[in-house]
Amino acid sequence: MAIDTSDFRNGLAFYLDGEIYQILEFQHVKPGKGGAFVRTRLKRLRSGNVMEKTFRSGEKVDPCFLETVEYQFLYRQADDLVLMDTDSYEQVTVPVTQIGDPARFLKEEAMVNALTADGSILGYEIANFAELEVAEAEPGVRGDTASGGVTKGATLETGASVQVPMHIDVGDVIKVDTRTGQYIERVNKK
C-alpha cells in the first residue's frame, strides 16, 4: 500500500532505497513553470543522518510503521547500559554509543524509548529533560545573584558535568536539557 507525496506529514516514516527515513519537515512547491514538487528534510533512522531530498508531486513511497517499546534503565556496565523491557521484564545490554551524549544524564529507573520497525530496533531516545541532583559544585562568590550571566562548573549525580549559575549549590535539584546539556532551572533547593 504505497502513499504519495500528498500524504506527507512531519514524522511520517517510509522506505527509500532499502532504508527507513522519517520526515523532519516538508514543503509543497508549485513553481510558475513546470510540475509541482515536494522538498523534504529526511532523517535516516538507523544512522541518524539528515539529508534533503526532492520528490516529484504524486511520487509514491512505501510507508513504514514505527512502534515504541518502553525500557527502564537499570545500571551501567563498563561502556554498556543495561535496560529492562517494562512489559516482558527482559533485560538487554545496549552500548552507550547507541544512545549517544544524552546517556550521561540517565539515572537509575529512568525511562528509555526504543524505536522499532519490522521487529528490529532502529534507535533509542531518552526524555528531553532530566531532573538531577548536584553532587559537586565549584564554590560561589559572595554577591553572586540568580540573574547574573556568570556560570560555574557542576557535577551531577550521574557524573555528567554542566555549567550552572553561581547560586546553585551541592544538593540542589536542577532541570537539564538532555539534548544540549544546558541548565534550564533549579527545581528545588536543598
Q: What is the DSSP string of 2-22?
A: -EEGGG--TT-EEEETTEEEE
Residue 29 CA to residue 36 CA, distance in Å, equals: 6
- Residues 126-145 have a mean pLDDT of 80
Q: How much is the pLDDT for 143?
A: 57
Q: How much is the pLDDT for 138?
A: 85
Q: How much is the pLDDT for 145?
A: 55
Share of residues in the chain with pLDDT > 90 (%):
46
What's the pLDDT tens digit per position in 153-166? 999 999 999 999 88
Average pLDDT, the chain: 88
Fold of 67-126: OB fold (Dihydrolipoamide Acetyltransferase, E2P) (2.40.50)
For 3-63, CATH gives 2.30.30.30
> Residue 168 carries which DSSP code?
-
Share of residues in the chain with pLDDT > 70 (%):
94
User: Domain limits of the chain?
Assistant: 3-63, 67-126, 130-188
Residue 114 to residues 27, 33, 51, 99: CA-CA distances in angstroms?
A: 29, 44, 22, 10
- Residues 60-89 have a mean pLDDT of 91
Query: If you write DSSP's letter for every residue of 41-106 in order, what string do you get?
Result: EEEETTT--EEEEEEETT-EEEE---EEEEEEEEEEETTEEEEEETTT--EEEEEHHHH-GGGGG-
Judge whether residue 39 has pLDDT over 90: yes
**In 3-state terms, the chain is what percent helix, strand and coil (to 5)?**
5, 55, 40
Is CATH 2.130.10.30 correct for 130-188? Answer: no
3-63 and 67-126 in the same fold: no
Name the residue among 187, 189, 159, 154 with its Cα closest to residue 171: 189
Residue 146 CA to residue 148 CA, distance in Å, equals: 6
CB 76 within 8 A of CB 67: no
pTM across the whole model: 0.71
What's the pLDDT tens digit per position in 101-116? 889 999 999 999 998 8
